[in-house]
Structures are given as structure tokens and as C-alpha cells.
Amino acid sequence: MVGTPFDAVDGTRQTRQQAPDPDVPALASGTQLGSPLLEVYKSVGGVEAFRGLEGCVVWWRVSTFGEQGEPIGLREVTHTADCRYAERDRLEFQDGRIYGRLGAQVFAELRGMPWPTLNDPASQDLMLFGLHLRAPWCFGDANVFMVVGKDFVDRSGERLLRITLERRPPASLEVVGPELDAKPRDRFELLCEPSSGRPRELVHRFACSLATRRVLLEDWRSVENVQVPFRRVYVDEAMRTKTTLEILRFERQRASERDFRLL
């Protein structure tokens, strides 16, 4: 999304990573026994149930708002994805842009012509919409995401369970011990109802931007065997709505590798 509207909350860079406390046991990640994510999947459906959706098409409506809450932008995006894979997405915009990713390969075209200068914004948009479609099920892959914290926070007088996750570095870059001037990693927080495990809020900070974004998860509906939030609301520190993402329609569709290559 060129000129992305998701400027809700500024993030800060962490240039030094503290060494883990040897007296504090590591938290289980993914669907491992003892992982705090297990209660989440009891509420919204398991990882395998989400993958069972296989191919799908999601019609998103993205609305942006000004400082006084006035609407300043509206667009629709058609999102084709394969839920069995972490990075198989295709985005089609009303202005003729098409973005696609197949694993680490990212493609962009404009009105039927390859447009390599759009590859960077394409990568960011594909990552963002891919996250919104797949969270929280994507966090179930313990080889990709690790749980680094679990605590409770107060939101509008309500106590919520907070699960903090980070994307693991590539295996070739993993080191033993603390990292000095470590490169930032994608970081996420899931805020959930303690009694049911249902997510109420998602906070994300991508390493490429280092900006923290807070998203309220609303209007949960059943899609096959999983529960999906059909409305996501980006808010700032004053709880003012900045951007909303709404699912207008969600349909199953057969998908293959060819769907995510731009021809």
C-alpha cells in the first residue's frame, strides 16, 4: 500500500538485547505442551483447522480517518491466499496494482506490466495483509515464532492476558548468549480474555519499520471450523480510530502455486 495509513503508534528501536535470566524457565512456543497459545487455539480453532481452509479469497475494505475522526480515505483490496503456507498471497488493488509473493519471492505489476520499483511497498503490504489473515494461527509454528513473555495488562479497566512473541532469526544466524547491537526482529503481542483465550487486541512491530501498531480485533465470525475477526481497528495512544480493515466477503477457492506468480 503506497502511503500506508497504518501510522497509529510510534515504536522505539531496541539496540541491545538483554541476556535471558538463567533462573527463569523458557516459555513453550507454538503448540508445544505448556504454550500459552494453546488456550487461544481452543477459542478460535486450531492451527490445522485454519490450514484446512486451504485456498481462499478475502475482500477487504480499508478506511482511514483524520484527527477529528473524519473519513479521509476508502479503498478495497482483493486478497487471494493459501492458508496452508505462510507466504502465499496475492493482492489486487483498484488502481491496477497487483502484488504477489511465493515464499521469499515478491512480485509487483501495474496495469499488466512488471513494475520492480514497487517491490518494496509490495513486500510490506503482503506481509501486513498476510499477518491479518493468518494471525493468530501463524504463531503456532514454533520454528518461526517464539513466545518471549506472558503477563497481564489493564485495558480500559479490564485485565487481559498478554502473550509476547518474536520472529526467530534464521537458523544460520542463531547464536548462544546475548547479542550486542542485535538486529531488531518482528515482534507481536496478543492480548486475550483470560477466561476464554479469545484475542481482543494485536500489537505488531515489523523490523522493517520499527513502528508499533495497536489493533483491536472485533466482529468475530465462524468460517468453517475457525473464528475470524471480520473487523480490525487501528487506534492511537488516545484510542482514536486511525484505520479500519473490514472483511466484506470470505470465500474458499482452490489455490495452486501459479496463483502467486505474476505472469
* Each residue's pLDDT tens digit, 55-86: 999 999 999 999 989 999 999 999 999 999 99
Q: Which residues, 6+ apart, have CB-to-CB distance to 45 below 8 Å?
A: 137, 225, 226, 227
* Residue 212: strand pairing partners: 205
Q: Which residues, 6+ apart, have CB-to-CB distance to 105 below 8 Å?
A: none
Distance, in Å, from the CA atom of 149 to the CA atom of 162, rounded to the nearest integer, reads 8
- Residue of 234 and 69 predicted with greater confidence: 234
- The whole-number average pLDDT for the span 119-126 is 96
CB 262 within 8 A of CB 113: no
- The whole-number average pLDDT for the span 198-203 is 98
- The whole-number average pLDDT for the span 18-26 is 57
Distance, in Å, from the CA atom of 127 to the CA atom of 121, rounded to the nearest integer, reads 10
- The whole-number average pLDDT for the span 37-64 is 98
User: Rounded to whole angstroms, what are the CA distances from 251 to 16, 78, 255?
Assistant: 44, 11, 12
Query: In the chain, what is the straight-line distance between the N-terminal and C-terminal CA atoms, in Å?
Result: 21
Q: Is it the case that residue 12 has pLDDT exceeding 50?
A: no
- The whole-number average pLDDT for the span 166-175 is 74
CB 160 within 8 A of CB 191: yes
User: pTM higher than 0.85 for the full model?
Assistant: yes
Written as one letter, the residue type at 165 is L
C-alpha grid cell for residue 169?
Answer: 532469526
* Each residue's pLDDT tens digit, 123-157: 999 999 999 999 999 999 999 999 999 999 999 88
DSSP annotation of 137: G
Confidence of residue 3 (pLDDT cuts 50, 70, 90): very low
CB 257 within 8 A of CB 245: no
Q: Is it the case that residue 174 has pLDDT exceeding 60?
A: no
Written as one letter, the residue type at 234 is Y
Q: Is it the case that residue 8 has pLDDT exceeding 50?
A: no
Q: Is it the case that residue 204 has pLDDT exceeding 90?
A: yes
pLDDT given for residue 4 in this prediction: 39
Q: Is it the case that residue 91 has pLDDT exceeding 90?
A: yes
**3-class DSSP state of 226:** strand
Q: Is it the case that residue 13 has pLDDT exceeding 50?
A: no
pLDDT given for residue 262 in this prediction: 73
- Residue of 11 and 221 predicted with greater confidence: 221
* Residue 154: strand pairing partners: 159
Confidence of residue 208 (pLDDT cuts 50, 70, 90): confident
Q: Is it the case that residue 225 has pLDDT exceeding 80?
A: yes
Confidence of residue 181 (pLDDT cuts 50, 70, 90): low
* Each residue's pLDDT tens digit, 92-112: 999 999 999 999 999 999 998
